[in-house]
């Protein structure tokens, strides 16, 4: 008698012509960088982050590998690692075809494990673990097709792309049919936009000038550096001296502020009213990431000052995003590539954002996040919103050198379109050797020198 209307059972005929690989194993590692030593990434809630990730490698018998990761802040990476290992069995010893030919069904299996889902469901540790695995599977799929993920998504027929999404719990906001129609409509002059992306890239803004733990002097020199590099949009943490920041950045450029969840609803409104003279584009994470109605109240109060509300990096799944979008509780939707359940679920958020007329400006302050979200946002331009108007991708200059195909910013402060097949998620081997926690050579050195306490 009991049924779900959204059981994902549409097979994907296009995937049937893909080369089929045999997955032999899934390997997961705890990788941490000691960023707390320089206060990089510090904010009101996260005062001492050590930028980290759970790094997943999917090995195939044929020798091709898929790499994926989820971002963490140091402590707790081992907990997410354990959750990844608990989900390994969904991937190991099966063929890639058995996954990609019905990717939504696979996604539901891994997110709905009958005992594990109790400790989620679809949120926190278990969903971060899902993200790392799913992202690795998209890296592998793009490699099988020999294209970067943004092209994989762009080149898919709408039916194929939509077949990867599990619509459970969101059909009251968008149906598969609506999603297909929306993508179909944009297919026609897609090639012009692809060319535009390849030639000009995609606009970025930077948060690098504004971590809370940075000295005024460091902020001044960073502002100069990024202005010279062509950036025209900057984000800083609330709690800093705005007068001083504006002086550095100039009134003609864009300024956003980030509260990182420190306020209650009414406090957020009061504080932002005091900052109205600064012509801020948005206030990011003014309160709890779970508070749809709170954000709505804040957004309504700040609309008259032209200050938008932005949130999403800690929004735990598509069901929360659905409500933020349905309620017009945010103006900038900041999807994160590794908090909700990987590409499949993120696609559904982009499609809902398009339907509800909300701009997506992805979060990318973390390890590998710039590398991933550039793909998603380029697809948004070629195939979903089809505009760059008031949209940009965060850029933070950290850990890029650890990746084999790092995100690159051009002379106009735009992300350069990735060309290497995959999701840009592969770490250099020496990075893994140095920063795997706690056994990597750099950690062993820092323990020996007393810079960190050994575990």
What positions carry a catalytic annotation?
A: 237, 363
With CB under 8 A as the contact rule, the residue among 12, 15, 23, 50 that binds its own copies is 50
Smallest separation (angstroms) from its own copies to the CB of 87:
10
Nearer to its own copies, 118 or 251 (CB): 118
With CB under 8 A as the contact rule, the residue among 20, 82, 182, 432 that binds its own copies is 82
Subset of residues 367 to 426 that bind its own copies, contact rule: CB under 8 A:
none
Nearer to its own copies, 144 or 257 (CB): 257
Nearer to its own copies, 70 or 377 (CB): 70
**Number of residues in contact with its own copies, rule: CB under 8 A?**
80
Smallest separation (angstroms) from its own copies to the CB of 315:
10
Nearer to its own copies, 128 or 142 (CB): 128
With CB under 8 A as the contact rule, the residue among 9, 17, 114, 429 that binds its own copies is 114
Kindly write out the interface string for residues 188-217 of this chain, putting x where it contacts its own copies by CB under 8 A and - elsewhere. ------------------------------
Subset of residues 322 to 361 that bind its own copies, contact rule: CB under 8 A:
322-323, 326-327
With CB under 8 A as the contact rule, the residue among 25, 37, 61, 75 that binds its own copies is 75
Closest CA relative to residue 278, chosen from 308, 227, 242: 242
Subset of residues 282 to 301 that bind its own copies, contact rule: CB under 8 A:
287-294, 297
Smallest separation (angstroms) from its own copies to the CB of 117:
7
**Residue 388 in contact with residue 378, Cβ under 8 Å?**
no
Among the residue ranges 55-63, 78-86, 143-151, 424-432, the one whose residues contact its own copies (CB under 8 A): 78-86
Nearer to its own copies, 15 or 162 (CB): 162
317 binds its own copies (CB under 8 A): yes
Among the residue ranges 42-50, 155-163, 180-188, 429-437, the one whose residues contact its own copies (CB under 8 A): 42-50
Smallest separation (angstroms) from its own copies to the CB of 40:
14
Kindly write out the interface string for residues 127-166 of this chain, putting x where it contacts its own copies by CB under 8 A and - elsewhere. xx--------------------------------------
**Residue 238 in contact with residue 207, Cβ under 8 Å?**
no
Assign 3-class secondary structure to the chain.
CCCCCCCCCCCCHHHHHCCCCEEEEEEEEEEECCHHHHCCCCCCCCCCCCCEEEEEEEEECCCCEEEEEEEECCCCHHHHHHHHHHHHHHCCCCEHHHHHCCHHHHHHHHHCCCCHHHHCCCCHHHHHHHHHHHHHHHHHHHHHHCCEHHHHHHHCCHHHHHHCCCCCCCCCCCCHHHHHHHHHHCCCCHHHHHHHHHHHCEEEEECCCCCCCCCHHHHHHHHHHHHHCCCCEEEEEECECHHHHHHHHCCCCEEEEECCCCCCHHHHHHHHHHCHHHCCCEEECCCCCCCHHHHHHHHHHHHHHCCEEEECCCCCCHHHHHHHHHCCCCCEECCCCCCCCHHHHHHHHHHHHHHHCCEECCCCCCCCHHHHHHHHHHHHHHHHCCCCCCCCEEECCCCHHHECCCCCECCCCEECCCCCCECCCCECHHHHHHHECCCCHHHHHHHHCCCCCCC
Smallest separation (angstroms) from its own copies to the CB of 454:
16
Nearer to its own copies, 72 or 208 (CB): 72
Kindly write out the interface string for residues 232-271 of this chain, putting x where it contacts its own copies by CB under 8 A and - elsewhere. -----xxxxx-----------------x-xxxxxxx---x
With CB under 8 A as the contact rule, the residue among 17, 115, 215, 429 that binds its own copies is 115
170 binds its own copies (CB under 8 A): yes
Among the residue ranges 72-80, 351-359, 374-382, 395-403, the one whose residues contact its own copies (CB under 8 A): 72-80
Smallest separation (angstroms) from its own copies to the CB of 250:
21
- Give the phi and the psi of residue 245 in degrees, each rounded to 5: -65, -45
């Amino acid at each position: 008698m009991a049924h779900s209307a959204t059981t994902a059972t549409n097979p994907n005929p296009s995937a049937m012509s893909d080369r089929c690989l045999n997955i032999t194993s899934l390997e997961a590692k705890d990788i941490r960088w000691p960023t707390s030593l320089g206060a990089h990434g510090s904010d009101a809630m996260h005062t001492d982050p050590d930028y980290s990730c759970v790094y997943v490698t999917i090995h195939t018998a044929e020798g091709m590998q898929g790499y994926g990761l989820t971002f963490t802040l140091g402590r707790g990476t081992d907990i997410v690692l354990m959750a990844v290992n608990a989900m390994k069995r969904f991937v190991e010893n099966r063929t890639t075809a058995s996954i990609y030919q019905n990717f939504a069904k696979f996604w539901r299996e891994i997110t709905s494990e009958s005992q594990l889902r109790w400790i989620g469901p679809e949120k926190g540790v278990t969903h971060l673990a899902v993200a790392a695995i799913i992202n690795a599977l998209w890296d592998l799929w793009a490699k099988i097709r020999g294209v970067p993920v943004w092209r994989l998504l762009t080149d898919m027929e709408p039916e194929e792309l939509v077949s990867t999404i599990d619509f459970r719990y969101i059909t009251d906001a968008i149906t598969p049919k609506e999603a297909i129609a929306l993508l179909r409509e944009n297919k026609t002059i897609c090639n012009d936009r692809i060319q535009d992306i390849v030639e000009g890239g995609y606009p970025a803004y930077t948060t690098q000038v504004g971590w809370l733990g940075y000295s005024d002097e460091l902020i001044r020199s960073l502002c100069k550096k990024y202005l010279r590099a062509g950036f025209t949009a900057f984000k800083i943490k609330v709690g800093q001296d705005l007068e001083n920041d504006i002086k550095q950045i100039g009134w003609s450029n864009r300024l956003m502020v980030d509260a990182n969840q420190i306020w209650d609803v009414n406090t957020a409104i009061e504080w932002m009213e005091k900052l109205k003279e600064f012509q801020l584009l948005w206030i990011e994470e003014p309160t709890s990431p779970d508070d749809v109605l709170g954000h709505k109240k804040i957004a309504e109060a700040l609309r008259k000052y032209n200050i938008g509300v932005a949130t999403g990096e800690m929004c735990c799944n598509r069901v929360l995003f659905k409500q933020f979008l349905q309620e017009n509780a945010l103006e900038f939707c900041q999807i994160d590539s590794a908090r909700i359940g990987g590409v499949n679920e993120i696609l559904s958020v982009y499609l809902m954002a398009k339907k509800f007329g909300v701009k997506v400006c992805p979060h990318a302050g973390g390890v590998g996040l710039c590398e991933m979200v550039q793909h998603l946002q380029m697809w948004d331009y070629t195939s979903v919103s089809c505009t760059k108007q008031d949209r940009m991708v965060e850029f933070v200059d950290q850990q890029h050198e650890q990746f084999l195909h790092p995100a690159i910013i051009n002379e106009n402060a735009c992300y350069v379109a990735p060309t290497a097949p995959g999701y840009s998620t592969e770490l250099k081997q020496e990075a893994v050797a140095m920063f795997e926690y706690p056994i990597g050579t750099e950690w062993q050195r820092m323990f020996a020198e007393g810079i960190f306490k050994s575990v």
